[in-house]
Structure 1
Amino acid sequence: MVLVINQETFDDAVSENINEFGMEIEEAINDAVKQFEAQGVNLGNIIKDNMRLQVESTQDLKNALSTLRDHTQLKTVISTSELQEQIAIVKRECDKSIPYRVFAAKEGAYNILLQLLTKDAQDDTVIKESLRAFISLMTKQPDLLEDKGVQTIIRLLSQEKDAEVQKLLLKWVKECCIMHEMNRQNIFKADILDHLKLLLKNADSSLIRDVLGVLRTLVLDDDVRVEFGKAHDHARVIASDTLSSITALLTKFEMDELLVSDLLSTISALLVRTEFCQTVEAAGGLDTIKHAIIVFQDKDKLTRQCFKVLKALAGNDEVKIHIIQNGFAPLIISSLDCNKNSSTTATLGLGCIAALTLRCAENSKAFFEAGAPELIYDCMRIHSNDANVQKNASWAIRNMVSRSRYQCEKFLDLGVETILKMNLKKFVNHEFDAKSALRDLGCDVNLKEEWTGSGGLLTTQSKKI
């Protein structure tokens, strides 16, 4: 279990360094960080420069929150324009840095903004400004969300028809879900999926991108404070309800580069079970992915998404065969060749080749004939110091030749043996990957025996029942 602390504990340690030991604020923060890290504490959820607010001005923020608080408590009546102006100040101050957002939260900004969304619910301009402020307030500060906030999100999603309000709501939801497992679970249990499915059917491309962003955050597993999350469960339910319709959107918006990229990314995130790969294929996914990889071949980011989703689809052995039967091997090689100078794209492309050729000689043959050995060698040569590229290249080589020994000579003629042996020295953590590729290429390699018995006889005891 990862050791974590809350913000207050960290702030107290910094204050002690300042007050008890006379440190300057920068020195106090650095010392606190070193002390906690030495104890094995994960500080990923901690705002390390929070105490700097002691020496920074927060008067504008205090005044704006005070004015808004009086308005929500009916102590004063202010015009809509002034109301918007005060909310905008809160947003502006929260946008400055995380410490300002923490300070705003301590001053009650969350409850004030939540009350504005209820009290002024008939005024779309106030709602929009309040949501913008909420997004700023809760960026990297999702702990603020509670039951009333979840209920407000669902209520507004069910009532609001204004596209801009819907987009802001979805962005707020996304900030609430990032790095916060309990928020994800609570929002999911509030049946947000029912509202997201409706938006997928009826929204324009811009709003659909925000819906997809929320779906992806609901299946994240990024909260270090929680040992076991429900990312897989959420993905299973979402995929069962939406995967076919999401795949169909690839055809509807096939020329929209940004949306196609988001659709492919979402499909990849939802392919957590082998039967979902068949769902995508049945919905015409292979044809639309082929269209995307051809039309957007020179678009590095979209090419990466194509590689990701094809690798995920290769998790189903039948779909893996169908992918290559549909002529993907030369397309993957061509796309990777166009973008091979990017280490990230090279890593994903080689990983895609490795997944599609795993235990499948026919797929390996198709890649071999499409020129995969030369391209794999090029990627290894170009990114000779990138551990991830070299690791995935090792996998691709191993999977291609393991059941197709006739390919070994080609790889050896290109010079991959030299690179693989250099990798043994350069990348100690990936020694096994390089040795596996060398072994299957027929090269001399000293394989380490992980476990040996002591030579004694194994004995068992039977128990009469």
Structure 2
Amino acid sequence: MSLQITQETFDNTVRENVSEFEMSVEEAIKETIEQFSAQGVNLTHIVTDWMMASSANSLELIDAIRQLNELTSGESMDLQALITQLSIIRAECDKGLNYKVLAGREGAYNVIMTVLCNYDSDVNIVKECLSTLISLMTQNSDLLDDNGIQAMVTLLDTQKDLDVLKLVLIWMKECCVLHEMNRQQIFAADVLSHLKSALHDPNSAVLQEVLGVLRALVLDDDPRLEFGRAHEHARAIASDTLCAITNLLEKFKHDSAVINDLLLTLSALLVRTEFCKKVEDAGGIQIIHDAMNNFQDNDKIVKQCLKVLKALAGNDECKTHIIQRGIAPDIVMLMQQHQKTAQTIIFGLACIAALSLRSPDNSKALFEAGAPDIIIHVMRIHPDNESLQKNGSWAIRNMVSRSRYQSQKFLELNAEEVLKAAAKKFKKSEYDMKAALRDLGCDVELREEWTGKGGKLNTQDKK
């Protein structure tokens, strides 16, 4: 794991370079970056140029925060003046991350929260505050504190305005992205109960934001922490929401945007084999099959359908039932239709690999549906995509490993040539291509990953 430093440490080092070595701000930032990089420090989450903003064109931002502070401390409040200053802060924050960091350092978060709490009954002020908080805290969510989380929960409890609810959910989602501690604290505030209730009587616009928060709560994307609780969150959310989400696929079956979000969320939550069965029991396989047919021209939905089917195939019973429902020909047909879109094809190949794993009957159904032809074809037309080539190798290997009669068909399609070319090009994935060649019966030299030194083991206890 790479070394980490805080934003404060970086900023103090820049200041030292400016004061002690008489560097310009720009020179000091460059020197500090080089210094920490040489020490192996990961600067991914450090804003390296906010001081440039503070030393240049940021007077309007600082002045707006100062005026907002003055307005909140006065006895009488000019609501239009509040909205004006909030909109200025939002516009400045939208200029870039350095402006967001500067605004945070100048106390923007605290003063906006003060306005939000004091005027929580004024929908227009609440909307303006939430919009500004979103601009301020997107990619800058270290600012979130207990007061912010409590405000989120309170607004979800009390607000009926749909626009306000959407903004609260967007704010919550942005605070979860790339921030494990925020995720854990938001989850610990029992937001799941509020999100779950929105799934039972959903408005489509609010529903999409609810689903976005659910997905954000199960992310594992914070490089500052080695371990997170993504799996625990996914398990808890799936236990309470999978059936409702699956039923919503039927309710919104003609709304492509909602269907896409529902499928995205399903695939993020299918982290245990029993959850796959839960989705099937709720009619999920048939609903997904219908979505594949209803939106076969929509690349995004096709990709998500294939991704969910691949996840469901993690349960052996579901894997069998997917093929029994006659989905194999549709998978092949959709891969042919979307053959030029690499990401969709990757999920199609991964789906074939998952469905045929240790399942000769499934492999036979895919074989008869024409899977070998499309597998080799897409590997030929995307020779430079390593992930696609690797997933194609897995699909070939899983199909033929327990159905050796299929090898002849793959060899007739020149699978050996395709796999050898991929193995030569992608050294990191070489083993996957060679394993497929081995299972096809081709001559291939497999490298031993580990060999012992031949020493005699002494298992006697020492006394």
Q: What range describes the TM-score normalised by the shorter chain of this pair?
A: over 0.9
Q: How does 1:170-319 map to 2 (within 5 A)?
A: 170-319=169-318
Q: Give the CA deviation at 1:458.
A: 3.9
For residue 86 of structure 1, what is the aligned residue in structure 2? 85
* TM-score for both structures, normalised by structure 1: 0.96
Is 1:148 the equivalent of 2:147? Answer: yes
For residue 49 of structure 1, what is the aligned residue in structure 2? 49
Q: Give the CA deviation at 1:23.
A: 5.7
Give the number of equivalent residue pairs: 463
1:420 partner amino acid: L
2:357 partner amino acid: L
Counterpart-to-counterpart distance in 1, 2:377 and 2:20: 59
- What does the per-residue CA deviation read over 1:407-442, in whole Å, with 9 as the maximum and x for residues that have no partner? 111111111111211122210000110110000000
Counterpart-to-counterpart distance in 2, 1:441 and 1:26: 59
Counterpart-to-counterpart distance in 1, 2:408 and 2:15: 66
Q: Give the CA deviation at 1:221.
A: 0.7
- What does the per-residue CA deviation read over 1:267-305, in whole Å, with 9 as the maximum and x for residues that have no partner? 111111100000000011011100111111111111111
For residue 103 of structure 1, what is the aligned residue in structure 2? 102
For residue 338 of structure 1, what is the aligned residue in structure 2? 337
For residue 58 of structure 1, what is the aligned residue in structure 2? 58
Q: Give the CA deviation at 1:340.
A: 1.4
Is the 1:65–1:107 Cα contact (8 Å) retained in structure 2?
A: yes
Counterpart-to-counterpart distance in 2, 1:17 and 1:336: 57
2:7 partner amino acid: Q
Taking a change above 3 Å as real, the CA distance of residues 250 and 15 of structure 1, as seen in their structure-2 partners, is same
Counterpart-to-counterpart distance in 2, 1:79 and 1:54: 28
Counterpart-to-counterpart distance in 1, 2:25 and 2:337: 50
Is the 1:2–1:224 Cα contact (8 Å) retained in structure 2?
A: no
Q: Give the CA deviation at 1:149.
A: 1.0
* TM-score for both structures, normalised by structure 2: 0.96
For residue 137 of structure 2, what is the aligned residue in structure 1? 138
Counterpart-to-counterpart distance in 1, 2:22 and 2:462: 70
Q: Give the CA deviation at 1:30.
A: 4.3
For residue 414 of structure 1, what is the aligned residue in structure 2? 413
For residue 35 of structure 1, what is the aligned residue in structure 2? 35
Taking a change above 3 Å as real, the CA distance of residues 439 and 27 of structure 1, as seen in their structure-2 partners, is farther
1:36 partner amino acid: F
For residue 364 of structure 1, what is the aligned residue in structure 2? 363
For residue 385 of structure 1, what is the aligned residue in structure 2? 384
Which shifted more, 356-365 or 4-13? 4-13
Counterpart-to-counterpart distance in 2, 1:329 and 1:452: 41
Q: Give the CA deviation at 1:62.
A: 1.9
Q: Give the CA deviation at 1:52.
A: 1.4
1:44 partner amino acid: T
1:335 partner amino acid: L
- What does the per-residue CA deviation read over 1:81-122, in whole Å, with 9 as the maximum and x for residues that have no partner? 222111111111111111111111111111111111111111
Q: Give the CA deviation at 1:336.
A: 1.3
Unmatched runs of 5 consecutive residues or more in structure 2: none
- What does the per-residue CA deviation read over 1:249-284, in whole Å, with 9 as the maximum and x for residues that have no partner? 000000110110110110111111100000000011
Taking a change above 3 Å as real, the CA distance of residues 233 and 79 of structure 1, as seen in their structure-2 partners, is same
For residue 126 of structure 1, what is the aligned residue in structure 2? 125
Aligned partner of residue 444 in structure 2, secondary structure: coil
Aligned partner of residue 229 in structure 1, secondary structure: coil
Counterpart-to-counterpart distance in 2, 1:123 and 1:413: 71
Taking a change above 3 Å as real, the CA distance of residues 26 and 297 of structure 1, as seen in their structure-2 partners, is farther
Which shifted more, 54-63 or 87-96? 54-63
Q: Percent identity?
A: 54
Q: Give the CA deviation at 1:344.
A: 1.2
Is the 1:219–1:231 Cα contact (8 Å) retained in structure 2?
A: yes
1:326 partner amino acid: R
Aligned partner of residue 200 in structure 2, secondary structure: helix
Aligned partner of residue 296 in structure 2, secondary structure: coil
Counterpart-to-counterpart distance in 2, 1:206 and 1:241: 21
Q: Give the CA deviation at 1:76.
A: 4.9
Counterpart-to-counterpart distance in 2, 1:184 and 1:414: 49
Is 1:440 the equivalent of 2:439? Answer: yes
Is the 1:11–1:50 Cα contact (8 Å) retained in structure 2?
A: no
Q: Give the CA deviation at 1:351.
A: 0.9
Q: Give the CA deviation at 1:337.
A: 1.2
Which shifted more, 60-69 or 96-105? 60-69
Aligned partner of residue 459 in structure 2, secondary structure: coil
Which shifted more, 26-35 or 438-447? 26-35
- What does the per-residue CA deviation read over 1:315-373, in whole Å, with 9 as the maximum and x for residues that have no partner? 10110111111111111111111111111111111111111111111111111111111
Aligned partner of residue 201 in structure 1, secondary structure: coil
Q: Give the CA deviation at 1:72.
A: 2.0
- What does the per-residue CA deviation read over 1:15-66, in whole Å, with 9 as the maximum and x for residues that have no partner? 4555555666555544433432332222221112222114422222222212
1:153 partner amino acid: M
